Amino acid sequence: MTCRIITLKGVKPQGQVSWQRKSFYLYGLVEPVTGESFYWEFSRLDAQCFQKFLDVFSTTYSNELNLIQMDNGSFHKSLSLKWPDNIIPIFQPPHSPELNPIERLWEYIKAQLSWEQCTSLDELRQKLKQVLESISPDAIASLCGWDYITSALLSATS
């Protein structure tokens, strides 16, 4: 993880750096009005894993019609995807992360973990789990529920 930090002019911040190339990916969705969230970890960022994520989410929320807003990542638009009947994808305009409610949550999570030194992926997973468990639905709604998004959602459902 990388981040910026403010220091005195001419003072460079120092910290340990680990250049490991191991990774995992956290897929997630948030409901910006209530702060309800759904996360699932995968080893890759691709259409096959995204399909599994959609299937698990669809099964978990099988009695609801779900609108999922996302960017234009190639795996989001793969022709191999089979969209579950209870999920409607909404693709945001290119280069507009401010329109996607979960982007602020990702920023918050990265800020919490940016100076952590993990010696293994399991340790990073554990710290990530602690961060996720510490964020209440109210905090998620506060982070992700921008007025223009919640107003649009509430007017669409009334």
Segment 13-33 mean pLDDT? 83
Give the per-residue pLDDT at 1: 55
Q: Is this model's pTM higher than 0.85 or not?
A: no
Instruction: Provide the residue range defining the domain that includes 130.
Output: 25-152
pLDDT at 111 over 80: yes
Which residues lie across from 28 on neighbouring strands? 39
Q: Quick: pLDDT tens for 47-70.
A: 999 999 999 999 999 999 999 999
* CB 49 within 8 Å of CB 27: yes
Question: Residue 67 is part of a domain; what is its CATH number?
Answer: 3.30.420.10
- How many distinct structural domains can be found in the chain? 1
Cα–Cα distance between 101 and 85 in angstroms, integer? Answer: 23
* CB 86 within 8 Å of CB 64: yes
Cα–Cα distance between 38 and 55 in angstroms, integer? Answer: 13
Segment 11-15 mean pLDDT? 77
What does the block give as tokens for 144? 């992700």
Confirm whether 6 is domain-assigned.
Answer: no
Give the per-residue pLDDT at 117: 86
